[in-house]
Each structure stands twice: as C-alpha cells, then as structure tokens.
C-alpha cells in the first residue's frame, strides 16, 4: 500500500471518489440549517488549496494563505460545473500521489526546515478535515451513504 494513495485517495475513511459520487447539483449546493457551507463550498475550498499545492504554485499558495477567497462567491449553475469540480479535486489527489513517488522531490525544502513531504502531509490533513465535513453534510441532507462505485 502506498502511503500517499492511502492519504489522498482511499485510506482511513471512504474512498474519495465514492464520497463525492451520486450527488445532484441541488444536493451539492444545499446548505442545511445552521451550516456555514454547502458540500460544493467545502469541496471548492479544498480543491483550490490542493491545486495550488500540487501544481507547486508558490504565488497561488501565498494568495490562498493571505488574500485568497476562501469559499466560492457564487453557486454553480450547472451539473457540469459540479462534475468538473469533482474531477479537478480527484485529479489533484492523484497528482499528490504522483509527487509522493519521488523521494527526491519529497526531500526538497520548500522553506527553511519544511520539506515538500511535510507540505503534502499537511494537505492530506486539510483534505481530511473538509471531506469529513462533506460526509457530515451528506448525512444532514439525507444523501448518505453514497452508492457503490
């Protein structure tokens, strides 16, 4: 078993593609009473951050950290936009797994005392936090459990 595949794709809790499958746009954009965000909002946020990290885009990462928009300002208007977001997130997870195959890349310092492996581990924790919220939101709107893939 690959540590990185376990962290980003299928370990510890439900497979990420299954967790995100079978949702309509209406379900993905529903904000249950008392919840600050929808499933779409949570995934959009996680996907933006993941994309900046796996593309190794330091400017985008800095922007996300300091002045970036943390959650989307508009609701998507089509099922296609929801599907594209899911695909983007899953592709980013696969890119994180690919980065994890390079011991040379993982050992590189991205800032003093911080390696790219450290950054990927932090990203995995960030993803797990937001995907846990996705699972809770699915439960709150009655879209649990996800179907089998």
Q: Give residue-wise pLDDT tens across range 65-117.
A: 666 668 888 889 899 999 999 999 999 999 999 999 999 999 999 989 999 99
Q: With CA atoms as reference, report the closest residue to 96 among 137, 69, 140, 126.
A: 126
CA 67, 68, 69 angle in degrees (round to 5)? 125
pLDDT in tens, 40-77: 999 999 999 999 899 877 766 666 666 666 888 888 98
Q: Tell me what pLDDT residue 72 has.
A: 84
Q: Check: CB of residue 116 under 8 Å from CB of residue 110.
A: yes
CA gap 86, 40 in Å, rounded: 9
| Residue 148 maps to a domain | no
pTM higher than 0.85, yes or no?
yes
**Is 147 part of any domain?**
no
Number of domains in the chain: 1
In a domain, 48, yes or no: yes
72 within a domain of the structure (yes/no): no
Distance of CA 102 to the CA centre of its chain: 21
């Amino acid at each position: 078993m690959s540590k990185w595949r376990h962290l980003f794709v299928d370990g510890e809790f439900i497979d990420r593609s299954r967790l995100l499958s079978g949702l309509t746009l209406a379900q993905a954009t529903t904000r249950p009473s008392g919840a600050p965000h929808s499933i779409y909002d949570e995934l959009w946020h996680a996907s933006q951050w993941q994309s900046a990290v796996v593309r190794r885009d330091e400017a985008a990462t800095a922007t996300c950290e300091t002045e970036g928009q943390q959650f989307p300002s508009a609701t998507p208007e089509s099922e296609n936009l929801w599907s594209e977001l899911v695909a983007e997130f899953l592709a980013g997870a696969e890119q994180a797994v690919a980065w994890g195959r390079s011991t040379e890349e993982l050992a590189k310092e991205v800032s003093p005392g911080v390696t790219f492996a450290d950054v990927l581990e932090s990203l995995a924790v960030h993803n797990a936090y937001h995907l846990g919220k996705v699972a809770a939101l699915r439960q709150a709107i009655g879209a649990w459990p996800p179907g089998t893939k």
